[in-house]
Amino acid sequence: MLHSPVPSLTPQQRRRPALLLLLAALLLLAACNQPGQSAVASSGDGPIRVVTTVGMITDVVRHVGGERVQVIGLMGAGVDPHVYKATESDVSRLLNAQIIFYNGFFLEARMEDVFKQIADSKPAIAVGEALSVADRLASPQYAEHFDPHIWMDVKNWMVVAGKIRDELIAFDPAHAADYRTNAAVYLAQLQELEAWVQQQVATIPEERRVLVTAHDAFHYFAKGYDFEVFAPQGISTESEAGVEDIRRTIDIVVQRNIPAIFVETSVPPDVVEAIVEGAKARGHEIRIGGSLFSDAMGEEGTPEGTYIGMIRHNVETITSALWGE
């Protein structure tokens, strides 16, 4: 077999540098595709771009900000914030925003890192921090952390509304008057809501004030309105209810003769159904009193799609279920 004196390139070898170049170009492109940091000034006449997480916060920001803000809420109806992972479009929305409001206390557990990084370039406010330490409840499972479900007590949410107003004023002093007016109106509505809730709850006899739900989201409700709460699952929906958790809940339900138990819109109902069956097997009839909004509000456009509507629905459902029998 003849060999040529100078080794010539095979077709594969000839293609190799081109491939490398292509690869390098792709990598460069990917790097360039990082959404750039936007350094947009707060002045200007356009509405402020605000990004929020759960619907309850979105609702407040819309009320307090009015026409001055353009709000995008990342988590809609029925979305579970404990396990929510930001997509790339979410991240670009966050980067494009001028101010961000989120709950904090690890409600949006999987987004904490994102918020920390973003806080370097723009205001990212954890509204839960507005609560005084005395008002915060410790998480039953994680001693160093707080229970994040603060919106269940309307009084807390009034504090949060005030915080949002103050932050908007700080960001956009030019329209401070608007924010103050809007906030005042909304706070008045919240005050009315609070009074109504207290009145409703008062109609339930004391021994009946036991709220059994799927996950442990109602401690602030319990504190604010003098209830007891039990739940087989922990504070976060990520935790799985074990056999013992369910059995204990059934024990409580049977011993305390509780007439109704509640499912949640953002949590699968099978745990609650298992409790109902288990109680039935012990001869105690318990029914599902209704569906509560815990981590998310109802569909947009419906009454339950607002914070006030959500609380009203919850309290009505709880009251009628526990009061009736």
Partner 1 sequence: MDSLFDFLLLIFTDYTLRTVTLGAMILGLVSGLLGSFAVLRKQSLLGDAMSHAALPGVVIAFILTGSKAPLVLMLGALAAGWLGALLVQLVVDQTRIPQDSVLGIVLAVFFGVGLVLLTWVQRQGSANQSGLDTFLFGRAAALVMRDVWAMAGVGGAGLLLVGLFWKEFKLLSFDPDFAATLGFPVGLLNVLLTTLIVVAVVVGLQTVGVVLMSAMIVAPAAGARQWTDRLDRMVLLAALFGALAGMSGALISSLSRGLPTGPMVVLCASLLVGISLLFAPNRGLVGAWLRQQRNHRQLRRSAVLEALYGLALSHGDATHAHQLGAVRAAIPGVDVRRTLAALESDGLARGHGGDLWGLTPAGAEEAQRELHRFERHGLDELPTRPSSYPFSAEIDPAEVVK
Calpha distance 113→107 (Å, rounded): 13
Give the interface segment with partner 1, choosing from 10-18, 171-179, 202-210, 296-304 (CB under 8 A).
296-304
**Residue 217 is a binding residue for partner 1 (CB under 8 A):** no
**Residue 241 is a binding residue for partner 1 (CB under 8 A):** yes
Cβ 56 vs Cβ 309: under 8 Å: no
Q: Encoding tokens for residue 20?
A: 């490398």
Name which position in 43, 143, 281, 285 contacts partner 1 (CB under 8 A): 281
Number of residues that bind partner 1 (CB under 8 A): 39
58 vs 98 by CB, closer to partner 1: 58
Spell out the residues 6+ positions from residue 318 whose beta carbon is closer than 8 angstroms to its own.
Answer: 204, 211, 262, 289, 290, 292
**Residue 72 is a binding residue for partner 1 (CB under 8 A):** no
Q: How far is the CB of 225 from partner 1 (least distance, A)?
A: 24
167 vs 245 by CB, closer to partner 1: 245
**Residue 216 is a binding residue for partner 1 (CB under 8 A):** no
**Residue 234 is a binding residue for partner 1 (CB under 8 A):** yes
Cβ 304 vs Cβ 313: under 8 Å: yes
**Residue 139 is a binding residue for partner 1 (CB under 8 A):** no
270 vs 325 by CB, closer to partner 1: 270
**Residue 183 is a binding residue for partner 1 (CB under 8 A):** no
Q: How far is the CB of 304 from partner 1 (least distance, A)?
A: 9
**Residue 325 is a binding residue for partner 1 (CB under 8 A):** no
Q: How far is the CB of 52 from partner 1 (least distance, A)?
A: 14
**Residue 303 is a binding residue for partner 1 (CB under 8 A):** no
Give the interface segment with partner 1, choosing from 72-80, 114-122, 157-165, 184-192 (CB under 8 A).
72-80
Task: Kindly list the distances between the CA atom of residue 110 and the CA atoms of 1, 87, 107, in Å, as whole numbers in the listed order.
Answer: 65, 11, 9
**Residue 57 is a binding residue for partner 1 (CB under 8 A):** no
Q: How far is the CB of 105 from partner 1 (least distance, A)?
A: 20
Name which position in 72, 137, 274, 288 contacts partner 1 (CB under 8 A): 274
**Residue 300 is a binding residue for partner 1 (CB under 8 A):** yes
**Residue 310 is a binding residue for partner 1 (CB under 8 A):** no
Q: Shortest CA distance to 272 belongs to which of 285, 262, 258, 286?
A: 262
Question: Which amino acid type is present at position 169?
Answer: I
Calpha distance 220→227 (Å, rounded): 9
194 vs 245 by CB, closer to partner 1: 245
**Residue 246 is a binding residue for partner 1 (CB under 8 A):** yes
Name which position in 50, 60, 71, 79 contacts partner 1 (CB under 8 A): 79
Name which position in 192, 226, 299, 316 contacts partner 1 (CB under 8 A): 299
**Residue 78 is a binding residue for partner 1 (CB under 8 A):** yes
Residues that bind partner 1 (CB under 8 A): 76-80, 83-85, 87, 234, 239-248, 250, 265-271, 273-274, 277-278, 280-282, 296, 298-300
